[in-house]
Structure 1
Amino acid sequence: MTRESLHQYFHIGTLQWMSYPGMAAVDAVRKIAADDYFDAVEISPVSEAEREEVKKLLEQSHLAVSYGAHFAQLQAGWNPNSLAEEERQYAQQQLLRCIDEAAWLGAGTMSFLAGKWEPGKQKEHLRQLVKTTVELCRYAEQRKMNIELEVFDYDVDKCVFIGPASLAAEFATAVRTDCQNFGLIVDLSHIPLTHESMEHVVHVLRPYITHFHIGNAVLDRESPAYGDQHPRFGYPAGRNDETELAAFLRILRAEGFMDKRRLLPLSFEVKPRVEESPDIIICNCKRTLNAAWRRLVGNDLEAL
Structure 2
Amino acid sequence: MKPTLYPSAHIAELFFPLANDEKAILQVIQQVAVTDYYQGFETGIIKHPEIAKTIRSIAQQNHLHVTQWLTFELLRDNLNLSSLDSALREKSIRRACELVHLAAECGTTKLSLVSGSDPGDARREEAKKGFGEALIRIGEAVKQYPTMLMQVEPLDRFAHKCQLIGPTDETVEWMTTLRAECPKLYLAWDSAHVALNEEDLADSLRLAAPLISQLHLANAILDPQAEGYGDYHMKFGEPGFLTPRTAAHIIRTALSLPLPPELGPISIAVEMRTTEQDDLWDNEKQCRAFLQTAMAEAVQEA
- Normalization by structure 2: what TM-score? 0.88
The residue aligned with 2:144 is 142
Deviation at 1:141, TM superposition (A): 0.8
The residue aligned with 1:126 is 128
Alignment check: 8 A CA contact 1:212 1:266 kept: yes
Map 1:168-187 to 2 at 5 A. Answer: 168-187=171-190
SS, match of residue 266 in structure 1: strand
Map 1:99-118 to 2 at 5 A. Answer: 99-118=100-119
Alignment check: 8 A CA contact 1:187 1:212 kept: yes
Alignment of 1:19 onto 2:19:
no
Deviates more, 1:64-73 or 1:285-294: 285-294
SS, match of residue 230 in structure 1: strand
Alignment check: 8 A CA contact 2:156 2:197 kept: yes
Alignment check: 8 A CA contact 2:167 2:194 kept: no
SS, match of residue 173 in structure 1: helix
Map 1:65-104 to 2 at 5 A. Answer: 65-104=66-105
Letter in 1 for 2:137: E
Distance 1:190 1:31 in 2: 30
The residue aligned with 2:32 is 32
TM-aligned CA distance change 1:253 to 1:60, over 3 Å: closer
Deviation at 1:221, TM superposition (A): 6.0
Letter in 1 for 2:61: Q
TM-aligned CA distance change 1:278 to 1:266, over 3 Å: same
TM-aligned CA distance change 1:78 to 1:19, over 3 Å: same
Letter in 1 for 2:142: A
Distance 1:75 1:227 in 2: 22
TM-aligned CA distance change 1:37 to 1:258, over 3 Å: farther
TM-aligned CA distance change 1:259 to 1:249, over 3 Å: farther
The residue aligned with 1:267 is 269
Question: What are the superposed Cα offsets for residues 112-171 of structure 1, whole Å, 9 maximum, x if unpaired?
Answer: 000123111111011101101111112211221211101111222222101111221122
Distance 2:47 2:182 in 1: 31
Letter in 1 for 2:6: H
TM-aligned CA distance change 1:124 to 1:74, over 3 Å: same
Question: What are the superposed Cα offsets for residues 64-117 of structure 1, whole Å, 9 maximum, x if unpaired?
Answer: 112111222233332111111111111111111111011111111211000123
Alignment check: 8 A CA contact 2:5 2:267 kept: yes
| Long gaps (5+) in structure 2 | 19-23
- Pick aligned residue for 1:195 from 178, 194, 198: 198
RMSD over aligned CA atoms reads 2.4
Q: How many correspondences in the alignment?
A: 293
Alignment check: 8 A CA contact 1:146 1:181 kept: yes
Deviates more, 1:91-100 or 1:56-65: 56-65
Deviation at 1:243, TM superposition (A): 0.9
TM-aligned CA distance change 1:9 to 1:72, over 3 Å: same
The residue aligned with 1:64 is 65
Letter in 2 for 1:233: F
Map 1:277-296 to 2 at 5 A. Answer: 277-296=279-298
TM-aligned CA distance change 1:172 to 1:259, over 3 Å: closer
Distance 2:14 2:187 in 1: 22
Q: Percent identity?
A: 20
TM-aligned CA distance change 1:169 to 1:124, over 3 Å: same
Distance 1:258 1:160 in 2: 25
- Pick aligned residue for 1:249 from 234, 248, 251: 251
Deviates more, 1:212-221 or 1:133-142: 212-221
| Long gaps (5+) in structure 1 | 1-5
Alignment check: 8 A CA contact 1:9 1:259 kept: no
